Chain A
Amino acid sequence: MRILIVEDDAMIGASLVRGLTDEGHAVDWVRNGSQAEAALIDRHHEFHLVLLDLGLPHKTGTEVLRHLRATGDNVLVLVITARDGLADRVEGLDLGADDFLVKPFELAELQARIRALARRHAGRVEPQLKTAALCLDPAARCVVRDGRRIQLTAREFALLQALMQRPGALLSRAQLEARIYSWSEAVDSNAVEFLLHGLRQKIGADQIENVRGVGWRIVTG
């Protein structure tokens, strides 16, 4: 999942980047409201989720959120804040936040909420992503094929998750890149192909279909 972190505290920001990257997310981090808006406008629709701190310099998180929703961007927004007043929560949710987490929180809770948001966003009820042959559990971070557990790297997992998020939908190389790499990472032009190659070897080449010149999709049936 591609996540934008908007957090002004250096220590919290750095740890969030680490924790979410460890989970296989592609994470970018900006430290103030203006940068957040710039990132969300420049890279429109690249992000699946924004972790938004409300107490930001230059432009508060509330303003960023209001502007975001006013422009019709429906990216998932999870507000993280030190303000725990009911009024703050209500205001945040009314402004269009998808969830609300009060500092301090545990990384595990944040990850669970991110998974739940992604699930709801995709219109699914059950936590696992499934095709006829594969079952991917985002919480347990495991993939099972025909009852056999398959070991994947974090990056391969993220790639498979991106493909399985919407089974049958074609994703281009650029789209896949955007989902699994943050912009701070230097990405080789054939990095996605390389990853796909490794992934196909592990889960079975027949599970991922390549439509030449367009992209890839997961085989559903």
Chain B
Amino acid sequence: MTSLRRRLLLSTGLAIVVVGLGCATVAYRLVSDETRTLLDDQLTQIARLAAQTVDGSEIPGRGDEDIVVSVWGSDQRLKFSTATGLDLPLLAVGFTEVTLKGEPYRVYSTLIAGRHIAVAQPVDIRDDQAEAAALAAFVPLLVLMPVLGIVLALVIRAQLNPVRQLAAQVAQRDPFERAGLVASGLPAEVAPLVDEINRLLARQNAAAQRERQFVADAAHALRTPLAALQLQADVLEGAANPSEYAVRFADLRAGIRRAAHLSDQLLQVARSKPSADSERLPLEVDRVLNEVVDLYQPAAAAAGIRLHLSSETHATVRADVRRLLLIFGNLVDNALRYTPAGGEVQLRAQRAGDTVQVEVQDQGPGLSESDLTRVFEPFYRAAGDQSGGSGLGLATVDNLVKELGGHVRLCNRDDGGGLLACVTLGLSVS
């Protein structure tokens, strides 16, 4: 992972060095050229002054080794020269570089009022002056570069401070903390990220809250069957005779079955939560329903209820078989619980557009309107329910069907003959 601060520092630092060096170089060149031009101007002015003097005595810097002035008459005879022993040659008008006594000179020659004037200056001196001037412009820029770098580093650090504080905030967070992250003072670019994290945290909190509630509800739901078991075991001792004992023992077994059923249902709910392990395959609905009927046929027979599948659709859905068996198994289990002996539980499947609808009909007492809306809540049981159910079966069905992208609906049969559960699933596209 790369640090944003380091990247910003590196990139801006590099930019400062490149631009700074560029500027310094250009400034160096410009100032040095400018200086040379100024020196040239100085030579032309001296030449103009020399034209007005007789013997060159008024020439500024006379006797100065740096500037040598020679003046010739119209007869091309040297009238005077400021340097002794240094003979300037007669040159063409304009600037020329010549070497005199092994030293390079820049010479300005001109013709004024018939006089030939030459002004010379050593190139070394010119170079020294140009360089000094250029350096005076170049050095401050070089010094400013690290200063700018330090300032930028501080600015970047200050600007990224809220992000660092955010990281500290996240690091110190209690896993069960409800409050979201505080986004104040964050740059607009980071704030949306924090908002999204907060939304995620809220969703996770809600999910954790639901899980905690479920565990609490589960523990609570276990109390009733456990209380029954405790009492059923306690009253065994009090049986007056073997037949009484047998009756009480049978009740205890029924109590154990009920507790076992509840724990099965709890496991089902836990497994019906979305997970990655489900592999969806195209499945024939008819085959799955036949399997459900086979599975529950013994229980139905024991309760004196006719359980049958009354249609064929040849419909295929994409699902994993375990989940489909759980969905329809739970619905059939419910139907059997509420249908009286001698009654009938019917499974029926039909296509509707690009969906398949599976109906489970029972001949039980049906449900009140208020119960119809609430029976999908975990642990909810209709008032006065004596079925011994856990209140989890329909919650499991609802979870599983939703996960498969379908929906489940409950209604009382129009003919008043019991409850109708209808599961709608999308057909598999082959």
Contacts of B251 in A (CB 8 A): 11, 14-15
Contacts of B238 in A (CB 8 A): 18-19, 22-23
Contacts of B386 in A (CB 8 A): 8, 10
How far does the alpha carbon of A108 sit from the alpha carbon of B3 in the complex, in Å?
Answer: 70
Assess the B235–A11 pair: CB atoms within 8 A.
no
Q: Say yes or no for A204: interface residue by CB 8 A criterion.
A: no
Assess the B224–A57 pair: CB atoms within 8 A.
no
Assess the A19–B384 pair: CB atoms within 8 A.
no
Interface residues of A in 1-44 (CB under 8 A from B): 8-12, 14-16, 18-19, 22-23, 31-32
Assess the A103–B226 pair: CB atoms within 8 A.
yes
Contacts of A57 in B (CB 8 A): 383-385
How far does the alpha carbon of A148 sit from the alpha carbon of B7 in the complex, in Å?
Answer: 100
| Contact partner, A104, options B223, B383, B384, Cβ 8 Å | B223
Assess the B230–A18 pair: CB atoms within 8 A.
no
Q: Say yes or no for A105: interface residue by CB 8 A criterion.
A: yes
Contacts of B388 in A (CB 8 A): 10-11
Contacts of A126 in B (CB 8 A): none
Contact with A along B355-390 (1 / 0, CB 8 A): 000000000000000000000000000011110100
Contacts of B258 in A (CB 8 A): 11
Question: Interface residues of B, CB < 8 Å — how many?
Answer: 24
Q: Say yes or no for B147: interface residue by CB 8 A criterion.
A: no
On whether A106 and B230 interact (CB within 8 A), knowing A11-B255, A15-B251, A18-B248, the answer reads: yes
Extra 12 A-B pairs, beta carbons < 8 Å, given A11-B255, A19-B231, A103-B226:
A10-B386, A11-B388, A12-B227, A15-B228, A15-B232, A19-B235, A22-B235, A57-B385, A102-B223, A105-B227, A106-B230, A107-B230
User: What bracket does the count of chain A residues touching chain B fall in?
Assistant: 20 to 34
Q: Say yes or no for A58: interface residue by CB 8 A criterion.
A: yes
Smallest CB–CB gap between A186 and chain B, Å? 19
Q: List 24 A-B contacts (CB under 8 A).
A: A8-B384, A8-B386, A9-B227, A11-B228, A11-B231, A12-B224, A12-B227, A12-B228, A14-B251, A18-B248, A19-B235, A22-B238, A31-B384, A57-B383, A57-B384, A57-B385, A82-B220, A82-B223, A82-B224, A103-B224, A103-B226, A104-B227, A107-B231, A107-B234
